[in-house]
Amino acid sequence: MVCLGNICRSPIAEGVLRHKVKEHGLNWVVDSAGTESYHIGEAPHRFSQNICQANGIDVSEQKARKFTVEDFAEYDIIYAMAEDVYDEIEHIGGWKANMKKVDYFLNELYLQSGEHQPVKGFKLTKNASVPDPWYGAEDGYANVYDLIAQTCDAIIARYKDA
């Protein structure tokens, strides 16, 4: 999962998906990164940690890293958390960017459920961006967490038997 700074959305997604992968006994490698180097080496934002902890998931040991061109070779699927992130993933990859591996994170939920409102006040559409909670209060992280958790359930449902 890739977001801008790798301290809010993508570390929540990494933590939630890792937790669900473990629950299902799957042998998947789950990681996250950011397209910018603002927070390299830092733990997730304290509000990201708080909402994950409230849901029984500890993300405090995760460290922010920058997305690299090598990630195209390392991972089978790369999820962009937002449109600007999708574009930056392609830019970082340059001529080595295998964009067939890249999709919008929320498209997994969209494919499973079509257009509906998984979280109050959020309209799910194709290629929708996960709202960036960085710009709001702590309660905004709860809505983002719920959206991410539902999407991780859709990912598990889609790929667990693949």
- Residue with the two structure tokens 């890249």: 102
Q: What is the CATH number of domain 2-159?
A: 3.40.50.2300
pLDDT confidence of residue 124: 86
Active-site residue (options: 8, 52, 71, 132): 132
Catalytic residue at 8?
no
Q: In what order do the strands lie in the sheet with 33-34?
A: 33-34, 2-3, 78-80, 102-104
Is residue 159 pLDDT above 60, yes or no?
yes
Cα 67 off chain centre by: 13
pLDDT confidence of residue 123: 81
pLDDT, mean of residues 152-162: 93
Give all strands (DSSP E) within the chain, no chain letters: 2-3, 33-34, 78-80, 102-104
Catalytic residue at 158?
no
pTM value is: 0.95
Q: Which of 52, 13, 7, 6 is nearest to 33 (CA)?
A: 6
pLDDT, mean of residues 26-51: 97
Tens-digit pLDDT profile for residues 126-142: 999 999 999 888 999 99
Catalytic residue at 9?
yes
Active-site residue (options: 3, 8, 52, 152): 3
Give me the residues paired with residue 102 across strands: 78
Give me the residues paired with residue 142 across strands: none
Active-site residue (options: 8, 9, 52, 71): 9
